[in-house]
A and B are shown apart, each in its own frame.
Chain A
Amino acid sequence: MAQGELGAGRVLVEPELIERARSGDDAAFNEVVRTYRKRILGTISRLIGRPEDVEDVGQEVFLRLYYSMEQLRTADMFEPWLYRLTVNAAYDYLRKQKRKKESRISDLSESQVTLADAAAGGLATQEEQRKSGIREFVQKLLGSVSEEDRLLLLMKEVEGLSVKDLEKVYGINENAVKVRLFRARQRVLKAFEKQGGDFPPG
């Protein structure tokens, strides 16, 4: 794996393009966003588990990227940097969600909203209901750990980043990553066993 490459796959843009974007070339920045948009939105979708808010968080990530490109020392560090911004934006979103007084419709669980949609327009298929059931179940399990550990665990287990990758993204040493991951997984596992240790009914 190349130096700046993370578990999600190969580096999508040439270092020259990153350099140009870093030196203030808006067209180059536009190209970088176009290239990474789908990958980053996918990651956000899995980190926050709320499809309706993915685009807003994604906008925040690329906005922060635009204003922090100058701080990027080398093009090699671009992907870990982008992932760090993604994790930070997802973290801010989750913290805000926790504090926010939920509005009436949001008090309903995601599957209840899906059912309400289905009743209203008959749009939600059985498959969609199963998927939203899984999302809700996992989000509930992840509620047993802090937002930081939840994101770390998802980056490892769902996004497929290695401990080495996480070391680069989080800027902490390998042992610290391993300890936090182990503890987070143990807590989630405990919550999973409490729920019966099996998938949600589909």
Chain B
Amino acid sequence: MMSQADKKLDELMVHYREACPEPGEAMHFMPRLWHRIEAQRQMLKKARGWTSGVVTLAATICLLLALLLSLQSNPLIHNYLEALDSDQDAAPAIEGSAHSDAVLAKPSGEAR
């Protein structure tokens, strides 16, 4: 069951609807809308241009880095292998060093 206030509120809503002005013939509505659509389209186009520019730049940098690394990788391996070789050559010389003497001498000291 609707109260008196309920009915009055419904009535008020009807009056409110009548009190809100109906829109008139806005002459500039369509040109303004198309202007805004066009502006947004341009902005999106610019943003897309920037995005593709950034992506292209990032891809170029990646390629350059990859190229640089691939150029440097052979000398690196070569140097590393050379270093291993030279280490092996130097290994007998280390045997007679003070450090290896101390290490070798320790277990016999402990046995005593």
Contact = CB atoms under 8 A, between A and B. Distances in A.
Do A and B originate from a single complex? yes
Contacts of B11: 199
B15 A189 contact: no
Nearest to B14: A158
A45 B40 contact: no
Contact of A42 (B4, B16, B22): B22
Interface stretch (B24-32, B63-71, B73-81): B24-32
B4 A66 contact: no
Interface residues of A, number: 36
A38 B32 CA distance: 16
A135 B34 CA distance: 32
A73 interface: no
Contacts of B33: 33, 59, 62-63
Contacts of B16: 46, 134-135, 138, 158
Given A55-B29, A192-B8, A45 B15 contact: no
B3 to A, nearest CB: 8
B20 A46 contact: yes
Interface residues of B, number: 27
A158 B12 CA distance: 10
Interface in A44-70: 45-46, 49, 51, 54-55, 58-59, 62-63, 66-67
B9 A188 contact: yes
B26 A158 contact: no
Nearest to A29: B37
B5 interface: yes
Nearest to A190: B5
Contacts of A137: 12
Nearest to A202: B15
B13 interface: yes
Which of B10, B11, B33 neighbours the largest number of chain A CB atoms within 10 Å of its CB? B33
Given A63-B36, A189-B9, A38 B23 contact: yes
B15 A134 contact: yes
A134 B13 CA distance: 9
Interface of B: 4-6, 8-13, 15-23, 26, 29-30, 32-34, 36-37, 40
Interface of A: 30, 33-34, 37-38, 41-42, 45-46, 49, 51, 54-55, 58-59, 62-63, 66-67, 130-132, 134-135, 137-138, 157-158, 185, 188-189, 192-193, 197-199
Given A45-B23, A46-B17, A157-B13, 14 more contacts: A33-B33, A42-B20, A42-B22, A46-B16, A51-B21, A55-B26, A55-B29, A62-B33, A130-B19, A134-B12, A135-B16, A192-B12, A199-B11, A199-B15
